[in-house]
Amino acid sequence: MVAAPLSPQQISAATATVAAWEALASSPLPSRRQEDWRFTDASRLAAIEPHCWTGPDPFAGLVLPPGVSRLPADEAAALWQPLLLETGCDQHWPVRLNAGAEPARLALRIEADASPLASAALTAELDAAASRQLLAAQILLVLDPGASFELGLRLGAAARSACSVVVGAVLAEQASLTLALVASGHGDAALLAHLPVLQAPGSRLALSTVSSGWSFSRIEPRVLQQQGAAHTRLRGLQWVGEDQLADTHSLVRFDGPDGVLDQLHKSVADGNGRSVFNGAVQVPRAAQRTDAAQLSRSLLLGDRARIDTKPELEIVADDVRCAHGATVSQLQSEELFYLQSRGIARAQASRLLLAGYCQEVLRELPAAAAAWKPVERELQGA
């Protein structure tokens, strides 16, 4: 995070901070020797002292819509560990950290909607602000067969504060979940988010994540179609500028036939920013007739910005359609000239093109999440 060499005093302070993070996770900080963390330097967390949250319970006063109820703690606990195990993230460092950081908990059961016209919707905001604390939260959504739910989650932090969330969901047959995570950080703030989801056949997941402004962020959607035959739609947008690092590591696994994945991940990297995307798609022998498409598109705005993007397809089944692609480009000069030739100044033309670029992901956000105006600060400053 700091380019200049550290003084011995700074080094010892950083060592103490790292030790504090490791104590909370009961596990050493991920190292860049681990393949999953190759491009992502978790030691950046040393800039933040991880004091556990002492502020109000972020879920107090949440008004639940009809058909949505709180799940008793023992039922939630019984579902939580298998969810982490099955999606293969129970031992992940951010998940361990979350468990050790006294997370606020919210567990909801969503019944099949009495009214078929509208799905139940809820928004929640977790903002560590400039508290210099680590706000941790666990959210579990259990959707009954045929249930439909929409959750918008805003995450924020500033000035050496951090957010750690694990948002898990278990979708029964024919259930439908729209989950939007809008994460806007400021200054030296860090975000760690895991999103494990189990999908039964016939279920539909639409998961959108938008992150910007974090000094360090790591987002890991992990979706398991337990018997295939489900529909997974992933949309991601991350924007890095200055000296920021944003990393999205997604995993989608099909443990049965006829599953569908439609994934689009977009990055914008400016300044000294660094964007990392790793998209794993696992199609074992049982997953015949899987139809998976993954596209990673990155926009490199600065000379010193950096993009690492990698699809990671493991395909064993032979009767499948798995498309993937990755593009890295700059703003198109012909597009800029076209706008300029209509009297739009170059700076405004760039902003319009950038807004258009982000729009492909933003337009899929539920209205409540779009109202948080994700990446607006970045677009105005571009």
Three-state SS at 376: helix
> Among residues 148 and 238, whose Cβ is nearest to other proteins?
238
Question: Which lies closer to other proteins via its Cβ, residue 140 or residue 349?
Answer: 349
Q: How far is the CB of 351 from other proteins (least distance, A)?
A: 10
Closer by beta carbon to other proteins, 61 or else 343: 343
Q: Which residues pair with 168 in a beta bridge?
A: 140
Residue number with CB closer to other proteins (218 or 297) = 297
- Picking from 253, 261, 255, 256, the residue whose alpha carbon sits closest to that of residue 282 is 253
Specify the residue, 304 or 346, whose C-beta has the smaller distance to other proteins: 346
Distance CA 126, CA 175 (A): 26
- In whole angstroms, how close is the CB of 354 to other proteins at the nearest point? 9
Pairing of strands 104-110, 68-70: antiparallel
Rounded Cα distance, 178 and 64, in Å: 16
- 108 or 369: whose CB is closer to other proteins? 369
Q: CA–CA separation, 135 vs 141, rounded Å?
A: 20
> Cα–Cα distances in Å, from 149 out to 146, 338, 374?
10, 42, 22
Give the residue from 169, 278, 182 showing the smallest Cα distance to 232: 169
- DSSP state letters, 252-295: EEESSSS-EEEEEEEEEE-TT-EEEEEEEEEE-TT-TT-EEEEE
The nearest distance, CB 259 to other proteins, in angstroms, is 28
> To the nearest whole angstrom, how small is the minimum distance from the Cβ of residue 332 to other proteins?
8
Main-chain dihedrals φ then ψ at residue 267, nearest 5 degrees: -130, 150
Six-digit token string for 381: 């400053």
CB of 363 to other proteins, least distance (A): 8
Q: How far is the CB of 201 from other proteins (least distance, A)?
A: 34
Closest to other proteins by CB, 33 vs 342, is 342
- For residues 198 and 73, give the distance between their C-alpha atoms in angstroms, rounded to a whole number: 19
Whose CA is closest to 203, among 234, 225, 229, 175? 175
**Residue position matching structure tokens 């990393």:** 247
Least CB distance to other proteins at residue 356 (A) = 3
Residues lying near other proteins in the complex (CB under 8 A) are found at 332-335, 337-346, 348-349, 352-353, 355-360
- Nearest approach in angstroms of CB 329 to other proteins is 12
**26 near 96, Cβ under 8 Å?**
yes
Which is closer to other proteins, CB of 34 or CB of 332?
332
CB 360 → other proteins: shortest distance, Å? 6
Q: Which is nearer to other proteins, 242 or 360 (CB)?
A: 360
